[in-house]
Chain A
Amino acid sequence: MSDPIQLRSDETFTLNVGPQHPATHGVLRVKMEMDGEYIFSAETVLGYIHRMHEKMGENRTYAQYLPNLGRLDYLSAMAYNHGYVLAVEKAASIEVPERAEYIRVLTVELNRISSHLVWFGAFIMDLGGFTPLMYAFDDREAILDILEAVTGSRLTYCYHRFGGVYNDVDDDFIEGTKAFIPRMRKALKTYEDLVTKNIILMKRLKGIGPVSAEMCRKYGATGPVARASGINFDVRKNEPYSLYNEFDFDVPVYNECDSYARYMVRMEEMEQSLRIIEQALAKMPEGPIMPKKKPKIIKPPAGDYYQAVEAARGSFGIRIVSDGGKNAYRLKLRSPTYSNMHLFDEACRGMLIADALAFMGSIDLVIPEMDR
């Protein structure tokens, strides 16, 4: 643990971390003012992969915009699908059959685990350990196989539809998911033994990267970052959508505010997702996956609609302003990492670069989602 030192603004140099840097996991650029290895300030520079997703939402019909959602956060695309279809369903008052909603929850939670597994591997790789990445990808592969069989894609899913899902799940999916749960529990135990209790990892994460609850509120940080700072906020619990109030699951909250707390929150969330999957599998009814009556062309009445969902990285909100036409008049995406990343500058001042990059890994960045 480094003691706070007095940094001098007149003896700094600029270090460009990115747009091509191994720790940024994408084309993120962080302009750091450094005093030796200490960070004086860090400015996040976005815009390298800006694709105008919000503008695209305004000049495409609602259905045409659906595939875009899988290309924001490519690691937890399912939650973004979910948020968008829920928002449009709310706007156009479309009923969703119960089975379809169960399938949505199942796929979203599976996707959450796969997203956390990628984060886990990449985060430990940021800390210099390679092997956990391979283990995590091995387990993630099982999820991808399950999801590929029903959705047709492995990463940028476009599975949820207005009113339901694209196609029904089969027995293979049910059996595969059932077999996956014990496998994942075993894997989580392995991770705990191999990584979580590792003394080097603890030394590198405990007390590093303090993010206070005030800071989270100031920058609008959500998800595991906020929950590791003692803020008990999970959209699934606080503003229940879909079927989430029917499931019994806990929201892991830590008060330590450090990187280790963020790590622990995500590791426990995987276990909680497994619990939701178990319950959803047990409760899932038979029935249709699309409503009988559904408008061919979606034209929500004029109005302002908002829907938030809990994506893997925090609260993803989508606001649709409709003027009654085929396209949205205005579509605003509120993505979690965009807010989470912006506390980096304030939090990393006075930190050593090695710690700052570990801290950045603990925020769990997905650049296409920040820079949409």
Chain B
Amino acid sequence: MSLTLINVLFAVVAAIGFAALNAAYLVWCERKGAGFFQRRPGPMENGPWGLLQPPVDGIKLMTKQLVIPGGVDKALFMVAPVLAMFPAIMSFVTIPFSENIVAQNMNIGVLMIFAFASMGSMAILFAGWGSRNKYALMSSVRGVSQAIAYEVPMLITVITIVMITGSMDLRAIALDQSGGFWQWNILALTKSPLMPVSFLIFFVCTLAETNRAPFDLGEAESELVAGFHTEYSSMGFGLFFMGEYANIVIGSCLTTLLFLGGWGCPFGLFPGVWWFLLKIYLLIFTFIWIRWTFPRTTIYGLLNLSWKILIPFSLFNLLLTAGLLKVF
């Protein structure tokens, strides 16, 4: 494995490009999806079907004034949006899109992604603390307790998968599930009969980790105005916004790789990478669907769900899987 500078640069540029393109056009998808669920057309003005909306939005955000309110902790205030976007992009580097398409495969890919994912909550904390705004502070406190509560069951579920596969390499985990959809981890009932429940736990945790509705308590706009990014304008806000969508893509990629067989295809038809993209966009559609259907939970409802239901269940599943692995 030779790591040349050009290789690294190429990988980073590709990751940034993929993340930025996805973030921009997922906003369009989200708005179109919202329109679809709400019996209205969504953006239609810029370009055909509003397809030029994302670049126009980007120009608007970039040309607006970046207001730094008086009394903020300037360093934290400036660093937070970058910190929101950066881990999301870095996580793309190790995600395999098919057997060969991966920027940089690592044998500890899962660990790296979760290490970066926990940096995301630091961005929320910095933004809320640095903004010197009571709503932002309350939001950041919520954000951190939410991140802790949901990383625990998420990681326990991932440990279950890692135990089954015996590898932390995302590529190996996906390859392990190849050979038909009954081999996917979501349906691997012989390894552990609770696998579908594990998938549900992981999916709920992904929703919570990415601050998506119904767990978008960090930016609960009817309570905390705009939450941790209340004071942000211009591209500061833009980076948070893009970071959110990039995180959704990461979450969907991980769910696909860990549970849905990665690029594994049920019946051939077209190359694996298309299957991978199809799976992640179906998951993203589910994200959008959920957001525009459910009301928001409360912070205590969210914490109760995690500590009282998800964590005991995922722990039980972990023990069960470990036992079954030992027996068979």
Beyond contacts A128-B294, A134-B39: 16 other A-B pairs, Cβ-Cβ < 8 A, are: A15-B134, A22-B222, A23-B222, A23-B223, A37-B138, A37-B142, A37-B299, A127-B295, A129-B293, A134-B38, A135-B38, A194-B293, A200-B294, A200-B297, A201-B295, A204-B301
Can you list 23 A-B contacts (CB < 8 A)? A2-B300, A127-B222, A127-B296, A128-B216, A128-B220, A128-B294, A128-B296, A129-B293, A131-B292, A134-B40, A138-B39, A198-B295, A200-B301, A203-B297, A203-B301, A204-B297, A204-B301, A352-B299, A353-B138, A354-B217, A354-B220, A354-B299, A357-B222
Complex-state Cα separation, A310 to B39, whole angstroms? 33
**A101 in the interface, Cβ–Cβ < 8 Å?**
no
Q: Known contacts A15-B134, A131-B37, A134-B40; is A124 also within 8 Å of B295 by CB?
A: yes
Residue of B34, B39, B213, B222 touching A125 (CB-CB under 8 A): B222
Are A22 and B298 neighbours in the complex by a CB distance under 8 Å? no
Q: Contacts of B221 on A, CB cut-off 8 Å?
A: 22, 128
Chain B interface residues toward A at CB < 8 A: 34, 37-40, 134-135, 138, 142, 213-214, 216-217, 220-223, 225, 292-301
Residue on B nearest A16 in the bound complex, by CB: B134
Q: Contacts of A198 on B, CB cut-off 8 Å?
A: 294-295
Are B37 and A354 neighbours in the complex by a CB distance under 8 Å? no
Number of residues in A with C-beta < 8 Å to the partner? Answer: 31
Complex-state Cα separation, A37 to B225, whole angstroms? 14
> A253 CB to closest chain B CB, in angstroms?
26
**A98 in the interface, Cβ–Cβ < 8 Å?**
no
Complex-state Cα separation, A246 to B39, whole angstroms? 39
**A13 in the interface, Cβ–Cβ < 8 Å?**
yes
Complex-state Cα separation, A21 to B301, whole angstroms? 24
Are A22 and B225 neighbours in the complex by a CB distance under 8 Å? yes
Q: Known contacts A134-B39, A135-B38, A204-B295; is A128 also within 8 Å of B222 by CB?
A: yes
A4-62 contacts to B, CB under 8 A, are 13, 15, 21-23, 37
**A126 in the interface, Cβ–Cβ < 8 Å?**
yes
Are B34 and A130 neighbours in the complex by a CB distance under 8 Å? yes
Are A129 and B294 neighbours in the complex by a CB distance under 8 Å? yes
A195-229 contacts to B, CB under 8 A, are 195, 198, 200-201, 203-204
Q: Contacts of A352 on B, CB cut-off 8 Å?
A: 298-300
> B78 CB to closest chain A CB, in angstroms?
26
Complex-state Cα separation, A357 to B298, whole angstroms? 11
Q: Contacts of B39 on A, CB cut-off 8 Å?
A: 134-135, 138
**A355 in the interface, Cβ–Cβ < 8 Å?**
yes
Complex-state Cα separation, A203 to B298, whole angstroms? 9
Are B295 and A200 neighbours in the complex by a CB distance under 8 Å? yes
Q: Contacts of A200 on B, CB cut-off 8 Å?
A: 214, 294-297, 301
Q: Contacts of A135 on B, CB cut-off 8 Å?
A: 38-39
